Chain A
């Protein structure tokens, strides 16, 4: 294959750069707008570079959205912790312990992923209301975990099935119980998988809008940044100050950017193992 077109010409790289530039243009445009003044943004002809820019957008964003950012952080971290706590033992049981009823559970977890968020939001609102759970971080953590747990179980299980059975058996011969084997052997080996599942759960909870907007109906302390951003543009249709909107959008995108840099290699693997099941 490679010999046919293997010349190391830079043509492909240049083309790829062009493709990336086109595909990521909306992101550039967001960053560009976030550094401009509202007067610059209101002009009929766009400024292609934020020359003579301003940080006002960011100052406003932090001043007005700081609380929402904090709420998002708490909810996303909480959902990640809860999800891993529930998913890791389950994945171990499904991958290595041949737990009774495992097949059935696996099918349920697959079906869960077919259920639209709107259905869950509808029912959870109706359940959480009488339980006085609305407008709490707890409500969002629970709601986000309902859709994240199945995904995390599938990702972790996929990784754990590749843990050699001999290792687990050896541990048993040495007298380690299932719990000790899990904690001292399986979990450390699955560290990368835990990171992957955790990062995806965090991103999912961070980006969630459906649960956030339905389960925190009163604009209280626990509305995440997605709702903050939405209210920003939703409220005053034409009077919006787009630079602070875009600055907020940039800030809300940071976790995704960080994830991509930190866990670049795991992202594709996590994507495929969570999406594809056997």
Chain B
């Protein structure tokens, strides 16, 4: 990766083969990895495999008690794709992810640009902006639920006082507004992450580039377009890919604010998957299928990103 973690690679010429390095026995070196390998295998890979199998089984409330879950092939996936609620869920997820990513990125980049220059208190104030990201998501959801409350929420009170609306807006109780409500909270949470990563990327751009451009008469817009954006590209890729992966999984915020309602207006694949499994009907097979679809989407985008990075690595001069 082009920034932040410049890996101190061994000097060119000494990279290949054993470089007179400490020669440890094969087994000893392996021993340090045993805990993580065992842990990952037992508590991650096994559950993952179990979840995959589960998605091909009719695992309902009866199975929970009897332990008996007949195989049903692709029936779970078929049922999901025939389910009108799931269709709605897919649309909601798309809106939730795209709007969250765009807003978080634009605001994050704006803040990163703003805090780029050093000024009195700049560092402290920038770190303060991190708090929303470190907060438990349940807390963030709770606070926004309180602020968006129809009758006592501060948002409505301000809107009414400014005469921007005539009646209180039922932010979380009306299917027409609920998505905006949960988006507001999710964007607020995601901005600090974007800001920090983009700020790091901006710091790594050599100032000489801007000086040269300024001498050539490039204005701020041109400098942003022809220097900042291209130089920042790898970092933008990281931010958007990770943002996408994280946003796909968002559960706490939506669940605390609306439980996916009203009328499934804020139901995403994640909350729906949770509801299928744990919402009382114990449809673990269906829940597993929904979860697996999420993994496929997340992995696809991550691979796409890694591929584009690799392609860039090969073309970039001076990098190996």
Residues of chain A having any CB pair with chain B under 8 Å: 1-2, 4-5, 8, 10, 12-13, 15-17, 19-20, 23-24, 26-27, 29-30, 33, 41-46, 85-87, 89-90, 92-94, 97-102, 105, 108-109, 111-127, 129-130, 142-143, 145-146, 149-150, 153, 158, 161-162, 165, 168-169, 172, 177-179, 181-182, 203, 206-207, 209-210, 213-214, 226, 229-230, 233, 242, 245-246, 249, 252-253, 256-257, 259-260, 264, 267-268, 271-273, 275-278
Contacts and interface: CB of A to CB of B under 8 A. Distances in A.
B21 A98 contact: yes
Interface centre among B26, B47, B132 (most CB of A within 10 A): B47
Given A20-B129, A165-B21, A256 B119 contact: no
B6 to A, nearest CB: 9
Contacts of A260: 127-128, 130-131, 134
Interface string B304-316: 0000000000000
B5 A278 contact: yes
B122 interface: yes
B154 interface: yes
A83 B20 CA distance: 33
Interface of B: 1, 3-5, 7-8, 10, 20-22, 24, 26, 28-30, 32-33, 35-37, 39-40, 43-48, 50-51, 54, 59, 64, 67, 111, 114-115, 117, 119-122, 125-132, 134-140, 142-147, 151-152, 154, 157, 188, 191, 193, 196-197, 200, 207, 210-211, 214, 238, 242, 245, 248-249, 251-252, 255-256, 270, 273-274, 277-278, 284, 287-288, 290-292, 294-295, 298-299, 302
Nearest to B199: A268
Nearest to B133: A271
Contact of A268 (B28, B48, B196, B270): B196
Nearest to B273: A118
Contacts of A172: 22
A210 B64 CA distance: 20
Contact of A273 (B5, B24, B144, B146): B5
A256 B130 CA distance: 10
Contacts of A8: 119-120
The DSSP consensus for interface residues of chain B is helix
B131 A114 contact: no
Nearest to A181: B22
Contacts of A99: 29-30, 32-33
B157 A118 contact: no
Given A1-B211, A90-B33, A115-B295, A123 B288 contact: yes
A98 B21 CA distance: 10
A229 B26 contact: no
B277 A100 contact: no
A66 B251 CA distance: 25
Contact of B40 (A20, A112, A271): A112
A26 B144 contact: yes
Given A87-B36, A116-B298, 4 more contacts: A1-B210, A20-B125, A105-B36, A116-B291
In the A-B complex, the 9 residue pairs with the closest CB atoms = A207-B136, A123-B47, A93-B32, A90-B36, A119-B291, A256-B134, A116-B249, A12-B119, A123-B51
11 contacts: A26-B147, A29-B154, A30-B146, A116-B295, A119-B51, A123-B48, A123-B54, A143-B43, A153-B36, A210-B252, A277-B5
A13 B119 contact: yes
Contacts of A233: 142, 145, 256
Given A16-B125, A99-B29, A275 B197 contact: yes
Contacts of B28: 177-179
Contact of A276 (B48, B238, B255): B238
Interface centre among B8, B138, B140 (most CB of A within 10 A): B138
